[in-house]
Structure 1
Amino acid sequence: MEKDSIFKIIYRFFDLIVLTYIVFDFGYSIHEEYHTPKFIGLVLITIALFAFNIFKYFYYKTSGRKKVALVNSVIIGLLLLISLFVSIVNIDSHYLDVLRKIRPILEAGLIFYFIIRLMILVRYVYEVYYNPAIVFVGSFFAIIIIGSFLLMLPNATTNGITFTDALFTSTSAVCVTGLIVLDTAVDFTTVGQTIIVSLIQIGGLGILTFTSFFAFFFRGSSSFKEGLNVRDFIAQDTLKDVLKTALNVVVFTLSVEIIGALFIYSSIYENPEIEDKVFFSVFHAISAFCNAGFSTMSNGLSEAHLQFNYYMQWVLIIMIVFGGLGYNIIFNFYQLVRTNVLEFFDRKRIHKQVSIMTLNSKIVIYTTGILLVGGFIFLWISEYHNTMNYHQTLFGKITATAFNAVTPRTAGFNTVDFSEFTVPTLLFIIFLMWIGASPASTGGGIKTSTFALATLNIFSIARGKSRIQLFGRRISSESTSRAFAILCISLIVIGFSILSILIFEPKGTDLLTVVFECFSAYSTVGLSLGLTPNLTEPSKYIIIGTMFIGRIGMLNLMIGMLRQINHQFYEYPKENILIN
């Protein structure tokens, strides 16, 4: 027991050293004369970590701890071997040049090691704490605060940043919104942009999903509490294979983003205006799939050299739709296609009269399809003689219309200045932003299923029915009640935000602009009519709160704070209330 305590102290010591090194290495400019001891220190820290994990592997008896130590040892050992190979190849070079070449390799190892340690810490926290809703909300809040301080590091920005602007940017990134108070392309360095895209990735998937990924990767198992915490975030009905699903979510996300980045790169590799094409491709692939809307271009995709890149826009459209549907819907649809293909090629297979597509998947896909097609038709009619005049070809007009129909679904990219849209178009875009993406996806809004249930309930009441029946299923009254609660909360929060900003902003501020900005913030879309960068300090905090509530869901927070564990085994007499 005493030796375990000593190991924990040593681990904390290494964690502190690694964190300090990473912060000072990336966050501060170090004078040239200190580069040599810094590089040597990096090598020594890596070797010490490798030796400690090797010792841990032989010391521990439990398989879980041995596996963690083994994985750490293998990863760090491979990095050391690669560094040794690079050193041998460049043996005739000056030792300082050799250290500069192996520095990125070892730094990547330290960063990965620290991420693992951070995930282990988070996993411990939500194993101990029993309230999944509070843990979910708290994880987002913690990442936002950490991201704010990282963005305040000297090397993250070109001219410095205030805490308010850092908090706003971090919240916008973690909540995958895309609203900005500073120009991401100009005011942030490559380090700052890397921090932003990392926050987008963590916010899009959720730190609980990442934590579960590492837990399954290392141990292949989880505790009961851990399963409870992760189940709601990834929309699992049961605790069975919940961590395996989290693993699949991460693998699926990273796979789609890598493929998307390759396609984006192929669309811009001849573009001389983009300097670092690899970083541009990775940044926009993550931003698109996570429905964040951040861009490394000052004017987004409306830059002259990107506005007519229709190939890249279709790649982004597909990634936005994939991210907005969510893993569960994509996987369920894949099961349907796979089953039909197998039955087609294997006539001897017995067809089972069981619906493969769940009711949730059907509602989401139908609603998404209706909104996309309806949005395309409306925008084609309303903008044909306006913003579509920029595009000379029919394919260009179709692409532009399709992109503008998809991007309000919480994506936030723009190929045209939205202030040029007509008022009817802006009002329709506000409607699309409010609905947003699908449950358990990277997008925001009230969600497609919520809107669908509310609409179906209206027709059911009008027909005199007491319940919603669809595709041979009866939808529970709890789902309907939750849908209307989310609708009401969203309008209350957005209304409060609009009223507050109108109070804090100067007289004469355009009402439609404020309304557009608040709907964009709550639905984590990121589209803007240009108001956000000019907001006063109090208004920035209003938008920060609106983005945060829109991402986590006010209902989730209220359930976590107000839900009572004890059950009520009695009922009061029923009485009807006059409604209309």
Structure 2
Amino acid sequence: MYFVTAMVSSLVLSMPFFHQPGVKLSFIDTLFTAVSALSVTGLTVVNTAETFNQYGVLVLTIIIQIGGIGLMTLGTFIYVVIGRNIGLSARRLMMIDQNRHQLSGLVRILQFVFICTLLIESVGAVLLTLRLYFAGYVDSFKHAFYYGTFHSISAFTNAGFDIFGNSLYNFQHDYFIQTVIIILLVLGAIGFPVLIETWEYVKRRDRKFRFSLFTKITTTTFIILLLIGTLGVFLLENNNFLADKSWHEKLSYSFFNSVTARNGGFSTMDIAQFTAPTQFLLSTMMVIGASPSSVGGGIRTTTFAIVLLTILAYAKGNTEVRAFHRRIHQDDVMKSFVVFSSAMLLVVSSVICLDAFEAQRHSLNSVIFEVSSAFGTTGLSMGITSNLGTDSKILLIILMFIGRIGLLSVLLFFRREKKAKIRYPEERVIIG
């Protein structure tokens, strides 16, 4: 379904009617842009503002919105509006699309996702529009609304596309706009199940309300990673890029880059100005990505957390993996290691291939960064995307596609349950 949508989106974006005068796009560049928008990645081989006119930007916005909330969420809402019943097969697709374990309550959840998305994006659009207009960044309220709405949608869906032409470079000292963008990025990446439970908690006003283990793990991991990223950027760049900056500029650059590396894709400075250790730190953050059932990609926060918890449990001699006074199901532990291992194999293989395709025209750091950004559907780049060859672009398209759908969903697509007819004798193998 995502593949068909990507091809249709590519066909629409290739129409000259949506381009600026004199602009011609190759098929691979159009496909790359369409997949990047649908996977809400934000990697671009062309300058969005210089390539697409206002109608093209509108089409791009629609594709980003579809990719952000998910095809099944959009389809469910349309079915509900027109009064159609949703069958079992459709519900199973919803379950896979939203990384859920059970069919019950799916329609209600997807309705909440759709309404919640529109509400948050609307508030973000209003705030950005008013700031852009009254701060004098644009010459009319119409333009302020145009820029404000697009970037609110792009931020909440964690797409990272911009139509300013240089991401958020013009707002590196505007902390109001940065704060709005950060809040939108976090709300989009934290995961819809977390937003649903938070809403239930606020609505009930019941202090005995028990958050699920999923919400506790993903929120805790999300916050810890944000703090590690902020502290890491600050310490690694304090005597480098941040050396001549004031204390609030150091905090701003450190925190914003920590947030945007989790799936945002926006930038307030040139990432290439960072040192290699910082770039590698941000690459790691991008591979980890956002939370499950969110608009982000990567291996997801819960996968990373369970892998670490399993290692700690084994080191302590525990036979069970525990968190917040709960025992984590063995199937979830297995899935976490399968996803983590598969992701490492995929990322390493992609780095080797991309470096080979480019015949070492780009540094290994920039190649690792580009691969991590594509797989994590982040969109940050060190400026090499537009200079890549066709083979490299196809590789990144595949990575963005897998990153959006999720590695587990891809593996489940090929999985076929088989009951063993023969049970072989067990034998130990030397490990490590």
TM-score, normalised to structure 1's length? 0.71
SS of match in other structure, 2:263: coil
1:289 and 2:156 aligned? yes
1:312-350 CA deviation, whole Å, 9 max, x = no partner? 1000111111000121111212333444x455xxxxxxx
1:67-97 CA deviation, whole Å, 9 max, x = no partner? xxxxxxxxxxxxxxxxxxxxxxxxxxxxxxx
Task: Quote the Cα distance in structure 1 between the aligned partners of 2:331 and 2:54.
Answer: 47
Alignment of 1:148-547 (within 5 A): 148-158=10-20, 159-219=23-83, 221-274=85-138, 276-303=143-170, 306-339=171-204, 341-342=205-206, 356-388=210-242, 391-392=245-246, 394-547=247-400
Shift of 1:510: 0.8
Show the counterpart of 1:142.
4
Shift of 1:278: 0.9
Task: Quote the Cα distance in structure 1 between the aligned partners of 2:286 and 2:196.
Answer: 25
Task: Quote the Cα distance in structure 2 between the aligned partners of 1:388 and 1:382.
Answer: 9
1:380-420 CA deviation, whole Å, 9 max, x = no partner? 2222343335754x444323322111000011100000000
Question: Quick one: higher RCO (CA 8 Å, sep 6+), 1 or 2?
Answer: 2
1:121-148 CA deviation, whole Å, 9 max, x = no partner? xxxxxxxxxxxxxxxxxx2111110111
Shift of 1:436: 0.7
SS of match in other structure, 1:413: coil
Query: What 5-or-longer segments of structure 2 have no aligned partner?
Result: none
Shift of 1:373: 1.4
On the 8 A contact 1:291/1:443 being kept in 2, the answer is yes
Which one is further off, 448-457 or 500-509? 500-509
On the 8 A contact 1:221/1:243 being kept in 2, the answer is no
Question: What letter matches 1:575 in structure 2?
Answer: E
On the 8 A contact 1:367/1:449 being kept in 2, the answer is yes
Show the counterpart of 1:10.
none
On the 8 A contact 2:97/2:405 being kept in 1, the answer is no
1:579 and 2:431 aligned? yes
Show the counterpart of 1:135.
none
**Deviation >6 Å, runs of 4+:** none
Q: How many correspondences in the alignment? A: 427
Task: Quote the Cα distance in structure 1 between the aligned partners of 2:340 and 2:68.
Answer: 22
Question: Residues 161 and 479 (structure 1 numbering): CA distance in 2 closer, same or farther, change over 3 Å?
Answer: same
Show the counterpart of 1:80.
none
Shift of 1:220: 6.5
Question: What letter matches 2:384 in structure 1?
Answer: L
Question: What letter matches 1:363 in structure 2?
Answer: I
Task: Quote the Cα distance in structure 2 between the aligned partners of 1:536 and 1:521.
Answer: 15
Shift of 1:501: 1.6
Of all paired residues, the percent bearing the same amino acid is 33
Task: Quote the Cα distance in structure 2 between the aligned partners of 1:176 and 1:326.
Answer: 15
Shift of 1:553: 2.5
Task: Quote the Cα distance in structure 2 between the aligned partners of 1:436 and 1:507.
Answer: 27
Task: Quote the Cα distance in structure 2 between the aligned partners of 1:270 and 1:415.
Answer: 21
Root mean square deviation, CA, Å:
1.8
Task: Quote the Cα distance in structure 1 between the aligned partners of 2:360 and 2:282.
Answer: 26
Question: Residues 236 and 216 (structure 1 numbering): CA distance in 2 closer, same or farther, change over 3 Å?
Answer: farther
1:552 and 2:417 aligned? no
Shift of 1:527: 0.5
Shift of 1:569: 7.2
Task: Quote the Cα distance in structure 2 between the aligned partners of 1:189 and 1:426.
Answer: 33
Alignment of 1:113-132 (within 5 A): none
SS of match in other structure, 2:322: strand
Question: What letter matches 2:183 in structure 1?
Answer: I
Question: What letter matches 2:175 in structure 1?
Answer: Y
Which one is further off, 161-170 or 272-281? 272-281
Task: Quote the Cα distance in structure 1 between the aligned partners of 2:119 and 2:421.
Answer: 49
Task: Quote the Cα distance in structure 2 between the aligned partners of 1:376 and 1:502.
Answer: 29
TM-score, normalised to structure 2's length? 0.94
Query: What 5-or-longer segments of structure 1 have no aligned partner?
Result: 1-138, 344-350
SS of match in other structure, 1:215: helix
Shift of 1:181: 0.3
Shift of 1:270: 3.1
1:143-196 CA deviation, whole Å, 9 max, x = no partner? 110111111101222212110000000011101111100001111111221111
Task: Quote the Cα distance in structure 1 between the aligned partners of 2:228 and 2:58.
Answer: 37
Larger helix share, 1 or 2:
1
Question: Residues 508 and 150 (structure 1 numbering): CA distance in 2 closer, same or farther, change over 3 Å?
Answer: closer
Shift of 1:452: 0.2
Task: Quote the Cα distance in structure 1 between the aligned partners of 2:70 and 2:278.
Answer: 33
Structure number with larger C-alpha Rg: 1
On the 8 A contact 1:409/1:436 being kept in 2, the answer is yes
Shift of 1:264: 0.9
Question: What letter matches 1:191 in structure 2?
Answer: Y
Task: Quote the Cα distance in structure 2 between the aligned partners of 1:167 and 1:220.
Answer: 33
On the 8 A contact 2:230/2:255 being kept in 1, the answer is yes
Task: Quote the Cα distance in structure 1 between the aligned partners of 2:424 and 2:390.
Answer: 49
